[in-house]
Chain A
């Protein structure tokens, strides 16, 4: 059974950093592109970043480019999102998502709150 479990969220001050993790199981991790999608509570879903299976290709939304870095460890079945220079606009629930040419499995999300 496929499982994705995010962790690492929490309260951080503006300008601070946070590293999100997503532990996956139940499938051959290296065979799949993975994404991060975020959602401000009560609002719509917004794509953040994606990475291909062998980590040779990454993409970012303009709103996070230069501040966020996506990575993965295929030996440990882990996906990461390093978030730097955080602002209040980054406050959201962050989901890791498996891409099977469509987003088929989502984690339960981890809440990031940027506030002083």
Chain B
């Protein structure tokens, strides 16, 4: 299985901050890396697919980059509604694997 290592596991930030979350794959996954936002009791919401393509309706404050084994999700000008858990996921393999998530909390 392809292992996805996400960091940090949590971070505290203030409204207006820019934050970056990193995801590393245990092998080359090209650009088959997706990012999700999840709020308590809700299903994951797709933010970015193919490493850098913004999903429909997602704010341009979100951006993704990377290829191969190292990827980042950046959120500019953090807003109140952005405090949530963010997860990466590889779809290179039929057997998807996910990062353990990054919880973004209010400082």
- Contact residues of A with B, CB < 8 Å? 35, 37, 44-47, 50, 59, 61, 95, 99, 101-109
Contact in complex: B43, A47 (CB < 8 Å) = no
Number of A-B contacts (CB under 8 A): 51
A108 partner residues in chain B, CB cutoff 8 A: 42-43
Q: B85: nearest residue on chain A (CB-CB)? A: A44
Contact in complex: A103, B87 (CB < 8 Å) = no
Given A44-B101, A59-B94, A61-B95, also A103-B89 (CB < 8 A): yes
B89 partner residues in chain A, CB cutoff 8 A: 45, 103
B94 partner residues in chain A, CB cutoff 8 A: 50, 59
CA distance A108 to B46 in the complex (A): 13
Report the minimal beta-carbon distance from B59 to chain A, rounded to whole angstroms.
Answer: 17
Q: How many residues of B contact A (CB 8 A)?
A: 22
Contact in complex: B43, A103 (CB < 8 Å) = no
CA distance A44 to B43 in the complex (A): 12
Report the minimal beta-carbon distance from A40 to chain B, rounded to whole angstroms.
Answer: 12
Contact in complex: B98, A46 (CB < 8 Å) = yes
Given A59-B95, A61-B95, also A45-B44 (CB < 8 A): yes
CA distance A93 to B93 in the complex (A): 23
